[in-house]
Chain A
């Protein structure tokens, strides 16, 4: 909650300064902020529920059973798919990865999983499509999938 406290205080102070400098601008800013919030809300609720479902289903044991040390290229594919579809808070991702490796999952497979978890957003895809269009959203997420696979290959070679 420290980040929350920091954000609310800093932006609260900025808003107050802004309000005393120019009331109209600040009112317009607050109105825009509220508009954005209410327009994003349906997709947002879906994303939050999706995070809850991902976290409850994807326990370390569940994932380890798919991507063991011997799972090879297929394991990289499976972990990229799981990582793309699921959405976990980013501060959970790396400790989860560490647990997975300790439970016997391969490092390249876990790397693909973690890279896809943070960079590919299947759950936020509807929101991204709504804002930037189908073509952009698919291409950006596609490039993130490619990045995850390439990264797993790099890890495979180096480590």
Chain B
């Protein structure tokens, strides 16, 4: 039963896929091919990132990280978060293990929430796509507003959540 529970989301989605297949075989086949494509994309990103997280976990000193991203870090925290999130590649779930590592090393919750925000809206490669499709003005409004919004959210989350209780499952 435990295994069934672990895979329940996957089983549910497979049922949806089967259901779609009954009505529209072509869409279902597309879905299978597209899933394969995203599996290939995932394998391009996740294993090296996890290895990087593992290395950072071993080599980065807790005191050092706390100094730069801890409670009293101010601008270095913002700067490092922008750098980490902005140079990132890939979907949000790749950011989760990185966030766990940062939290374990004593990073402030504010920067972790801000990091998710930066990861979703200010990744440099994606921003280039946005500029190409919608122009500079639109992109600056989107990224600028998003960054301010998620920084404020970070401040709010920092007050609500207890750092020591945030990590529910230490996957490392």
Contact = CB atoms under 8 A, between A and B. Distances in A.
Interface of A: 1, 3-4, 7-8, 10-12, 14-15, 18, 22, 25-26, 28-37, 39-40, 42-53, 55-57, 87, 89-91, 93-95, 97-98, 111, 115, 118-119, 121, 124, 126-133, 135-136, 139-140, 143-144, 147, 150-151, 154-155, 158-159
Contact of B168 (A14, A94, A124, A130): A130
13 contacts: A30-B51, A36-B172, A37-B46, A40-B97, A42-B6, A43-B93, A46-B12, A51-B34, A52-B34, A56-B30, A119-B121, A129-B168, A140-B153
Interface core residue of B31, B33, B35, B51 (most chain A CB under 10 Å)? B51
Closest 8 CB pairs of A and B: A52-B35, A4-B44, A29-B54, A46-B9, A33-B54, A56-B30, A56-B31, A52-B34
Contacts of A10: 48
Contacts of B44: 1, 3-4, 7
Q: Give the dominant DSSP class at B's interface.
A: helix
Given A3-B45, A32-B58, 8 more contacts: A33-B54, A40-B97, A44-B46, A56-B30, A93-B129, A119-B121, A143-B149, A159-B137
Contact of A7 (B7, B12, B48, B129): B48
